[in-house]
Structure 1
Amino acid sequence: MSTAHVLLGLLASGPKHGYELKRSHDQRLPQAKPVAFGQVYATLGRLQRDGLVAAGGQERDGGPDRTSFEITEAGRARLDEWLGEIEPPAPYVASTLFAKVAVAVLVDGAERAHDYLVAQRAAHMERLRELTAVKTDPASPLGDVLAADFAILHLDADLRWVANTLERVADLHREVQS
């Protein structure tokens, strides 16, 4: 995820200061990794340097001065460009789950990989239950439901891979024993 582009998108609805951007990010992308305040301000600095945002007014709401930022025309153009770019499918398998299973097979053979896969399947099933509760709750905001759908489908793909790999690991175990 591009934090810079997400912040530009959040600023498209009007000026905000860093604290508001962090809060908006975490509310609008509830299943995403929360963005840190330091990351928000560092990203705003780069966006300002690149002419994609401009500092607006300053507020003092019982605390330190807060500078609000607004998206510039160049920022809107860059946001529109980013929104139109198709995300290429990942060219590499970049999954810790895959890496752990592959290394477990290399290091300890089929038994450790099997045990890991069984435990991982249980963790995935628990997460599926949590996400299904979010998805089926009529009070869940649309953003939460969309995020839950996205995560559920990815977990489902992982679970299919775990099932296939458990079969292959069992075959490997039988092969090694004979």
Structure 2
Amino acid sequence: MSTSHVLLGLLAAGNRHGYELKRAHDARLPRAKPLAFGQVYATLGRLARDGLVIATGQEREAGPDRTSYQLTGQGREALDRWLGAVEPPAPYVTSTLFAKVVVALLVADVSAARSYLVAQGRAHTDRLRELTAVKTAPSATLDDVVSADYAIAHLDADLRWLRTTLDRVADWHREVHS
């Protein structure tokens, strides 16, 4: 994820200070990893340095001064370029799940590997149920539904792969021991 571009996108809706940007990020991308405040302010500093945002003033509520930022024309152009660029499909499998399954097959006996695959499949199925409940809740927002759909599609793909791998392990075991 490009934190810089997400913050530019959030600023396209209007001026905000770092605390508001962090809250908006976490609300608009509810299934993404929450941003740390330090990450927001460091990114805003780089965006300002590069001329993509400008500070528009400070306000003081019950706490410290809060600097508001505004998207510049150059920032809008950078955001539009990012939004217009097609993301290349990932060339490598970098999932921890994939690595664990491969290592389990390398170092564990077949029954231990099968046990891991079954347990992981159960965990994925449980998470699918949770996400389905999130997106079908009466209070679900469009952000909730879209992010749940994204996570569900990925979990579903993982689950299909786990089942296929479990079948392959069983086939391999039958061939070796027949």
The two structures have a TM-score, normalised by structure 2, of 0.96
CA distance in 2, matches of 1:175, 1:48: 63
Which residue of structure 2 aligns with residue 134 of structure 1? 134
Query: What is residue 18 of structure 1 aligned with on the other side?
Result: 18
Once residues 177 and 95 of structure 2 are traced to their aligned partners in structure 1, the CA distance between those partners, rounded to angstroms, is: 29
Shift of 1:169: 1.1
1:122 maps to what in 2?
122
What residue number does 1:109 align with? Answer: 109
* Alignment-derived partner of residue 164 in structure 1: 164
Q: Which amino acid in structure 2 is aligned with residue 64 of structure 1?
A: P
Matching residue of 2:83: 83
Moved more, 7-16 or 134-143: 134-143
SS of alignment partner, residue 133 of structure 1: helix
Q: What residue number does 2:50 align with?
A: 50
CA distance in 2, matches of 1:138, 1:80: 34
Residues in 2 aligned to 1:109 and 1:171: alpha-carbon distance in whole angstroms: 15
Deviations 1:121-173 (A, max 9, x none): 11101100111001111320001000111111111111110110001111232
Say yes or no: does 1:60 pair with 2:60: yes
Q: State the secondary structure of the residue aligned to 1:14.
A: coil
Structure 2 equivalent of residue 100 of structure 1: 100
Give the letter for the 2:73 counterpart.
Answer: E
Determine helix, strand or coil for the equivalent of 2:129. Answer: helix
User: Could you tell me which amino acid in structure 2 is paired with residue 112 of structure 1?
Assistant: A
Runs of 4 or more consecutive aligned structure 1 residues displaced over 3 Å after TM superposition: 175-178
- Give the C-alpha shift of residue 176 in structure 1: 4.0
Matched residue of 1:58: which SS? strand
Contact 1:109 1:173 in 2 (8 A): no
Does structure 2 conserve the Cα–Cα contact (< 8 Å) formed by 1:59 and 1:65?
yes
Q: Which amino acid aligns with 1:137?
A: A
Structure 2 residue matching 1:30: 3-state secondary structure? coil
The answer on whether the counterparts of 1:111 and 1:173 sit within 8 Å (CA) in structure 2 is no
State the alpha-carbon separation in 2 of the partners of residues 62 and 107 from structure 1: 57
Amino acid across the alignment from 1:48: A
Q: Percent identity?
A: 71
Partner residue, 2:74: 74
Please list every run of 5 or more consecutive structure 2 residues that lacks an aligned counterpart in the other structure: none
| Aligned counterparts of 2:44 and 2:21: Cα–Cα separation in 1 | 10
Spell out, residue by residue over 1:34-84, the C-alpha distance to the aligned partner (whole angstroms, 9 max, x if none): 011011011111111111111110000021111111111100000000000
User: Is this contact kept in 2: 1:135–1:145, CA < 8 A?
Assistant: yes
